[in-house]
Structure 1
């Protein structure tokens, strides 16, 4: 069989919008032809502080002149400081730094299983973890084993056992799935990839109470929802819930380098000892320099407050589009929204392309839904201009 002629040497695992970007600053990006676009996606929340935030870029530049990698065979002068300040920011004990969000989730799964065997006393090889349908925790082999997204899962078996999938937002169904083998419940407090799906306000508190009652860990994936996006440091803060482990990523690297971490209780992460888990690049000096600068941005609470205030404005404008029939539904949490289109207004992809033509960058998900996640630093005038283009694109 003759191979098809190649027009590109790039593997086609994404379907990007037809724009080639060359530079960015703040909430704006410029393509190779010099056209400027308003970024209302912010790298799926990796760019919470916008493109090339001066303090984050300065921290990266300064570190590039000193030290970029030691491996974890040696300590470096920023590692403890990064762990201490990140733990303090989220109010937890220990930090295990990694690189990508999927790595952080894999790390949390390993830690939960080890805790289950060493501390809870689950029989060897029998640990189970309860997860929710509609989840998105990454695309590694283990993670897609409990995905309900056919595109992510189909064709990649055999799948990793040990997971039970229950309906998202249904605490009763979750309770029925927990038994003596259950070591953890792994959830997104808000399902970002699913379209900014927000569970009932009493859901996470009920899950927290269940986990306490059954001696089960609550692991929250805040890779998209965390670090200011929802108007709070963690989305779980909105309902007063404290997880046993939380995974962080995306915004932790400031849109400059991949940085992720699992933050949690001492008695849980403490089950991992030398040789049981690791990463050559996890917690590298450059990552820690940028991560420390990100933590410094969040320690003041300014970005969280701004996300909450602009989020109220965003919600009011989107609610008006639901009221006039332009949208079927909208869901907002801080400066984060999922908007649903009626089929007669086209698909989410089509709306994204219409907005691209109006110099606004967004991304669709699951057919009729588009996500909005502007940088937390966006000016209100820019946000309103982008929403004006959304109104125009819907009519």
Structure 2
């Protein structure tokens, strides 16, 4: 349970808020490259951390993310003409480049102040492996780009996609780092007492070990498996809003298995972009696997052309009560839709003053403590280590079987490091 004051500090992300200022010390996924693939193509509306923005790709292929409104009379630049290395406002023709500099004022008389003295807000961008990243903080504090393994892998070894989620970022993260819910929310009714992964056995009461790291948290969930063994799932939480999901399957350890992860990027206090990444370092994905992990109708879908889920709170996620009785635990098709249903059902910002937490919530509790502490430390001038060291993000999640007398930190160590360079 949190106090109202702490809940507000955790969830509010606009300019000037403690959590919003913490997020502005990190690079964030902003857009898929496919959303603005065309040079001089149509601009795209974008809202992040409570700020209205416009993104465009200029004549030279550079990506600009700038204020949504013209510096002149605040007309919307979404309606602008993307031409000759700049976005031109259709109201009076003022034109801005990817750095937010006004490069032309055609309606102004000769002798007026030089156009180059006028600027709009513009944020730094970097493009890597199909994702456009944005840094929304002060230029003098620019951080290192997080060196995720998937962002360095060759083509066909990774995927990236996203979907809209209609709730606050923090309750979405908390769902992602909660390993105990998989035995219920994502189970099939007829297998509720014995999940399909044989290493889960019938243990639906995981014991958690949580360790703070330079990049966030390692959250290890232990279940009884074969006699004398534990089945471990090690979830990674990486600052400020990433998680990595342990692979699931009938294997004794996950070193050669593809794995997935998420980024929960706040649009504002009440909406989130849920990004989904996957990495297959050991082998390329097949065409079917690429479509399944990265396509709009794949595992993380279905979504429409604006990446809005087709199963959503407006249609009750198309819950099927007959399926709920006879097939799966929720009656809702698809793991991401099941997650969204329960997370959005809490309200756009959950009232954490009314919770009753249990032992299975250790990871969630540590996440909240960590984020609130880091926000306080930033107000005192202290910045997280990983802001300046992108290599700390070169880690993996893991699943493995270990003898009961082998600590997970020792047994899983070799599985938790990626291959990015």
TM-score (norm 2): 0.28
Higher strand content, 1 or 2: 2
Larger Rg computed on CA atoms? 2
TM-score (norm 1): 0.30
Higher helix content, 1 or 2: 1
